[in-house]
Each structure stands twice: as C-alpha cells, then as structure tokens.
Amino acid sequence: MNTKPMIALDFSTAEETKTFLTLFKDEELYVKLGMELYYQNGPEIVKWVKNLGHEIFLDLKLHDIPNTVYRAMKGLAALDIDMINVHASGGSQMMKAAKEGIMEGTPNKSNLPKLIAVTQLTSTTEEAMRNEQLIQASLMDSVLHYAKNTCEAGLDGVVCSAWEAAKIKEITSSDFLCVTPGIRPAGASIGDQQRVATPQKAHEMGSSYIVVGRPITQASNPVEVYQSIKRQWNGE
Ligand SMILES: O=c1ccn([C@@H]2O[C@H](COP(=O)(O)O)[C@@H](O)[C@H]2O)c(=O)[nH]1
C-alpha cells in the first residue's frame, strides 16, 4: 500500500493547478493528472509538475486500436511519469500494445511507469452496466474478468473501486495494484461517484492506492483535509 493518497488535480488551467500546488510546497505528493488538465495544457503541465518533485499518475484512459495506443503510449512514456492507464475493455491486444509502447518510449528502462487498466468506472452501477453495456454478469464478475485479462496481458494493476480490491488480489496476486478512486471521507458529497468508500474502509479492503479529487481540491482548507485523509488511509 502506498502511504500517500493520490490527489486528482482536476483543474482546467495551469494557473489553477500551480496555485493549488503552492499550498503543498513542503510536501512531496503523488498527483493524478487527467483529461481535463492534459487536453487543455498538454505535456508542458506534466513536465512542470514533475519538476516540482511530485510523482505523477497520468490518467488518460487510452482506448483505441492496438497500433494507435502503442504509438500514443510510446510518446507519453517520454514524459517521465510514474503511472499511466488504458481501458481494459479495449482488449488484451490493445493492453499488450500499450505495454510495448511504454517499454520502447521510456528513456530509463530500469524505471518504467506502472501501466494499469480501468475495469468498470467507479461512476458505474450494476444496473447501468447491464442496461448500457448489455453486460449481464454481476458488476463484481465484470470487474474480476477485466482484472484477470489485465494481469494476463502483463500489466501492473487496475483501476477499480475499493470494494473489489480484495477479490482482485485473490485472483491475481497480492502485489497486483488496485488503484481506487471513489474515495469519500464520511459525510462528504458523493457527486457523480457510485461505488464509494471512506479512506479507512479502502485501507481495510486492500486498496493499493486511493485517488481523491474534489473532497480535497474543493475544500476550504485542502492541506488540512489531505492530512486528515492521509491519516485515515494509513489506519491512524
Ligand atoms: O473509475 C474511475 C476512474 C478514474 N476516476 C478519476 O478519479 C478522480 C476522482 O475524483 P473525485 O473528485 O474524487 O470524484 C477523477 O479524476 C476521475 O476522473 C474515477 O473517479 N473513477
């Protein structure tokens, strides 16, 4: 388990991101940069955050034909990131192509970024999965199926909810990563998330990393909320 909660920096501009990070000037963070920030600010913001010394999960959730994902990953791997992802529903060949792209594109081959795959988004319910994706399995079985495919394709782990982490580790291995968004401190607004857990519960259920966005970024005192979540996540 990584002791630092990942902070999802879901901002539109580099300015907002930089202002937020100045609050944490004495802390080495693990941050998640996603589509909102990357699509509007490009590789420059990734390099800028990396230069501050923070670890980076680049959450772009690639999902395309294997050749396109291979070529995109090869380019992204040059950014010196620590973790990156694809959608497991893109298939085993696509996931293997993503891995090949990373291996070829990473300048320091002894320090490859972790490659993980999204199973079912934490905003998805079993009902929505059945009605919209026409998957008739239970949500747990669908997540486990994608996790098994991901493991067999040679990736390092998955994005799932904390509720699925223990079972995923059972069918893969104890060091297969379960990165879990949908984290909400008790009483916090759930927003569009569906499969949520508190930091404490995620700790108990075997998450490897927790991802927390709005409860921290929209707090009136983000540093205080981050420290409180960090304590709960570490079982203190
Ligand atoms: O299944 C998934 C995959 C990714 N995410 C991302 O995590 C954060 C969660 O932010 P909150 O504000 O804490 O809800 C966000 O960047 C998502 O894109 C996810 O939530 N679920």
User: In the chain, what are the domains?
Assistant: 6-233 (3.20.20.70)
88 residue type, one letter: A
Q: Rounded to two decimals, what is the model's pTM?
A: 0.96
Quick one: tokens of 93?
A: 């060949």
User: Between the CA of residue 12 and those of 9, 40, 42, 218, 226, what are the distances in Å?
Assistant: 9, 7, 11, 14, 21
The stretches in the chain having pLDDT less than 70 are none
Q: Ligand 1 centre and the CA of 58: distance in Å?
A: 12
75-109 residue pLDDT tens: 999 999 999 999 999 999 999 999 999 999 999 99
- CA-based torsion, 137, 132, 177, 187: positive or negative: negative
Model pLDDT, residue 148 = 98
ipTM: 0.99
Model pLDDT, residue 150 = 98
Q: Is 61 a catalytic residue?
A: yes
Binding residue ranges: 10, 32, 59-68, 122, 184, 193, 213-214
The kind and range of the H/E element at 48 are helix 35-51
| Residue with the two structure tokens 């998957």 | 135
